[in-house]
Amino acid sequence: MRKCLVLLSGGIDSSLMLTLVKEQRDDEVYAMSFDYGQRNKTELNAAIFQAIKFGVKDHLIITIDMSSIGGSSLTDRNMNVPKDRHDSGFNWSIPSTYVPARNSVFLSFALGWAEVLGVEEIYIGANSLDFAGYPDCRPEYFEAFEKMANLSTRRGMEKKFTIKIRTPLIRMSKEEIISEAINKGVDLSKTFSCYDPDYRSRACGHCDACKLRLEGFENAGIEDPIQYVDKERDILLAMDTTLLDEQ
């Protein structure tokens, strides 16, 4: 039986990808997620939900500390996650939420597990359209990684198999991804995208990830089922404790 490995963040993209892989392929499917020091642990719970729902053979969550490397507002609490970049003439420059070498670290771990399991295909839900600003989401990067991967493994050296890095969503827009996810029955209420959720795990609605997600839902004509921070409502609730009791 053929095997494949899906990198699963718990966002819409990787959740759709897992659904497509389970639907289209008869492989034994493995999933890998990372607790890498990101602010947002809610996406890890979403990843666990999706992995269980789709009955993967095994789901490995690797804990690594990318925050010690620094350089990203996604892992460094002293840096602010940029908000509403769209509104002030968004130029898709590389934002501070970019985590240096994150995809290389993730794919390298996936490569290691793939070699142990005998997996030939590693799926990553990267997207070059939405995140044109991330260098490690470009097709040429994944091609170079694949070449490196095949020189780095025991199985590659022994010509036993060739590792393939699959990026099925790389040319899809967020709107297409959301529409397709709904068609395929992905439970979008159990996906999470926000870079900077509040203490109740509600999405901020203003970071790049939220903006893209909300725009995608709007273009697809569907309402996003996840909870967003609603500051005005929170203030009202705080002022009127009787309302709080009714919650």
Residues that bind a copy of itself in the complex, under the rule CB under 8 A: 60, 62-66, 68-71, 94, 98-105, 107-109, 111-113, 115-116, 135-136, 138, 140-141, 144-145, 147-149, 151-154, 156-158
Query: In a 3-state reduction of DSSP, which class is residue 33?
Result: strand
Helix (H) or strand (E) holding 5: strand 3-7
- To the nearest whole angstrom, how small is the minimum distance from the Cβ of residue 141 to a copy of itself? 4
In terms of residues, how long is the chain?
247
Compare residues 145 and 217 and give the one whose CB is closer to a copy of itself: 145
Compare residues 117 and 222 and give the one whose CB is closer to a copy of itself: 117
In this structure, is the dihedral angle defined by the CA atoms of residues 194, 103, 39 and 188, taken in order, positive or negative? positive
Distances (CA, A) of 8 to 51, 76, 99, 126, 127: 8, 22, 17, 11, 14
- To the nearest whole angstrom, how small is the minimum distance from the Cβ of residue 214 to a copy of itself? 26
Closest CA to 33 of 20, 16, 46, 17: 46
- To the nearest whole angstrom, how small is the minimum distance from the Cβ of residue 61 to a copy of itself? 9
- To the nearest whole angstrom, how small is the minimum distance from the Cβ of residue 59 to a copy of itself? 12
Compare residues 47 and 105 and give the one whose CB is closer to a copy of itself: 105
Compare residues 154 and 200 and give the one whose CB is closer to a copy of itself: 154
